[in-house]
Structure 1
Amino acid sequence: MLDPRRLSLLRDVAATGTIAAAAERAGCTAAAASQQLAALERDLGAALLERSARSVRLTTAGRVLADHAGRLLSSLADAERAVRDVAGLRGGTIQVAAFATAGISFVIPALTVFRNRHPDIELRFAELESAEALPEVRAGTIDLAVTHEYTPLSRPDLRGLDQRPLYREPMLLAVPSGLAPAGTAHADLADFAATPWVAALTSTGFQAATEMACRTAGFEPQVDIRVHSYPMLLAMVGAGFGVGLVPQLAAVAQHGVSYLPIARPTGLTRQIYATTRRTDQSPAARALAHYLYDALTLTTPK
């Protein structure tokens, strides 16, 4: 591998015509510069300079290398500037993913702040559920993913990943407004043991979370309706087809739906994380994680 410092000396000899002048540009002595140029010749096994008592001139091989050296050193300088721009949040690309409820409630506001403060960084976004996003982060396709886990369910494979906790949100019971118990602002899940339930598809982790919460309350839920998204779950609840559990961030205003905190603790919560690769401490990802946390403090109940 050619040493860029030696290439720079050769380029400067070609430009100035003397080793002394090239040494002055490099901030070293003429003797040191001469030694470095001799080492470059040994590395290549070719004579690069024709030396005499009063002058030095480049050989044909020296002129060819000096010409390439200019382009190589220019490319190295461009690469260094690009890296410094990324480190200083003045360039580069960040690829972000988030699940829908997080995206709508706080990720989009955080991305807006990021875009306004760092307009030179290219921002790319994909809506992905956590099970899809984690392998993408591990593979390097996504730089930062907003992911979630339901506790106390088993944790996913997090090898090679770092997670910064952003928010732990409680679960609420969504009920048709006509079923909301009079005179109380809380719900005991056992009171809804005989009520039809609306729950997630069995392919999603949330179905297991719903079953676990109901079993903790002493019954098996009667799941008549299975859906893919929280908006559909809430639409079904609002239409009177049953009750369902939703995380706090998904509990948006919906006609015909009331939200009740769970009176008897089930231990079920949803923990939200900013997930990144352990080996990539991206300045842009660190900055975005900070903006995500700030956005959450503005959008979640105190």
Structure 2
Amino acid sequence: MYDPTRLAALVAVAEAGSISRAADRLGYTAPALSQQLAKLEREAGTALLVRHHRGARLTAAGELLLVRARRVLDELEQARHELSRLTGLSGGRLRVGTFMTAGTHLLPPALNAFRRAHPDVELSVTEYVPPQATAAVALGEVDLALTHEYVPGEAMPPPEGVRLEPLLTEELVLVTAPGHALSAGAGRLPLAELAGQPLVSMAPANPNRRAVEAVLAAAGASVAVRCESPSYAVVCALVSAGLGVAVVPEMMAEGSVTPLGVRRLDPPELLRRISVAYRPDGGAPAADTLRALLRGAFTRHSPTP
């Protein structure tokens, strides 16, 4: 059975004429949309797109599937409208909190699906630095929020009345300037090989910085912090410019606007767990619906260190 999200991706590329323009329309990054299309091609068992210097066009198989995809999506949208009226999600407001990475890479596709299903619900999105998002949920400033914690790291239990539902766990990876020797290998890089490397890192009070430096020290890799920044985007830009190496969440490495070398670390014990914070009692139906969309789209099981 074809995933409707991937069918929508095919329709968007057909209408936009390129993967990048389709990604902008759907709220994806271009690499994320390419992954969805690749999965659809594997499901179909044949090539659906031909990429060229001006964009992308559908193959004969893609054109055939496009017709069916539009019918399926039209039927699903009609069903969503009917269910919205049935469940009372034909108005009201949904207030969502997020942190920057999730707001850039995870939230837009889920909100796009929510908007298609419930076009009359007013949406608002507010950015927070974790753990401020969970406090905002507790205070009723937002209906639910995406937040994160680092493993290993300091435990930050949510406020009373707020529950955390894990969505996904991502590794922290090494990023370097393009062509750097440490990013040249195909396998995982032992942590000990970072010894002596100049490190671009977060601000001293950041929990992730403390966790990274503790793990590196335990592996016998003493590092010297050369530059500091409170922003992962700036950290990646400084690394790309050659000021040092950094250990950042995989999602930040993949979405960096500056070119980077990327390599996974061994052992893979530095993790970031992304969760949705919500109030189990008294939550709005719209919040429950978006939480279900997030769960269905992003929940995956990862080993616990």
TM-score band (shorter)?
0.5 to 0.7
Q: CA RMSD in A?
A: 2.3
Aligned ranges 1:56-71 → 2 under 5 Å: none
The match for 2:251 is 249
Q: Deviations over 1:240-263 (max 9, x none)?
A: 111111111111255441110002
Partner residue in 2 for 1:262: 265
Q: Cα distance, 1:297 vs. partner?
A: 7.0
In structure 1, the partner of 2:169 is: 168
- Which of 282, 285, 288 aligns to 2:284? It is 282
Q: Does 1:178 align with 2:172?
A: no
Change (3 A) 1:183 1:139: closer
Task: Name 1:292's counterpart in structure 2.
Answer: 294
Q: CA deviation at 1:91?
A: 2.1
- Spell out, residue by residue over 1:216-249, the C-alpha distance to the aligned partner (whole angstroms, 9 max, x if none): 3223331111112111111111111111111111
Q: Distance in 1 between matches of 2:256 and 2:201?
A: 19
CA distance in 2, matches of 1:113, 1:271: 23
Paired residues for 1:105-184 under 5 Å: 105-158=105-158, 159-181=160-182, 182-184=184-186
Alignment-mate amino acid for residue 242 of structure 1: G
2:218 corresponding residue in structure 1? 216
- Structure 2 gaps of 5+ residues are 1-83, 301-305
TM-score w.r.t. length of structure 1: 0.65
Residues 96, 125 of structure 1: 8 Å contact kept: yes
Report Cα offsets for 1:126-175 as digits up to 9, x if no partner: 11121221111111111110000101212213132111110011111111
Q: TM-score, normalised by structure 2?
A: 0.65
In the alignment, is the contact (CA less than 8 A) between 1:150 and 1:269 conserved in 2?
Answer: yes
**Cα deviations by residue, 1:4-33 (Å, 9 ceiling, x for unpaired):** xxxxxxxxxxxxxxxxxxxxxxxxxxxxxx
Deviations 1:54-94 (A, max 9, x none): xxxxxxxxxxxxxxxxxxxxxxxxxxxxxx98962222211
Q: 1:202 to 1:282 in 2, by over 3 A?
A: same
* Equivalent residue letter for 1:235: A
Residue 194 of structure 2 contacts residue 221 of structure 2 at CA under 8 Å; is this kept in 1? no
2:148, 2:108 → 1: CA distance? 17
Distance 1:146 1:235, change over 3 A: same
Report the identity percentage. 34
Q: List runs of 5+ in structure 1 lacking aligned partners.
A: 1-83
CA shift, 1:208, in A, is: 1.6
Equivalent pair of 1:86/1:92 in contact (CA under 8 Å): no
In the superposition, relative to structure 1, how do residues 155 and 86 fare at CA in structure 2: closer, same or farther (>3 Å)?
Answer: farther
Does structure 2 conserve the Cα–Cα contact (< 8 Å) formed by 1:199 and 1:210? no
Q: Is the 8 A contact 1:97 1:144 kept in 2?
A: yes
Change (3 A) 1:137 1:253: closer
SS of the residue corresponding to residue 114 of structure 1 reads: helix
Give the aligned residue type for 2:286: A
Structure having the higher Rg: 1
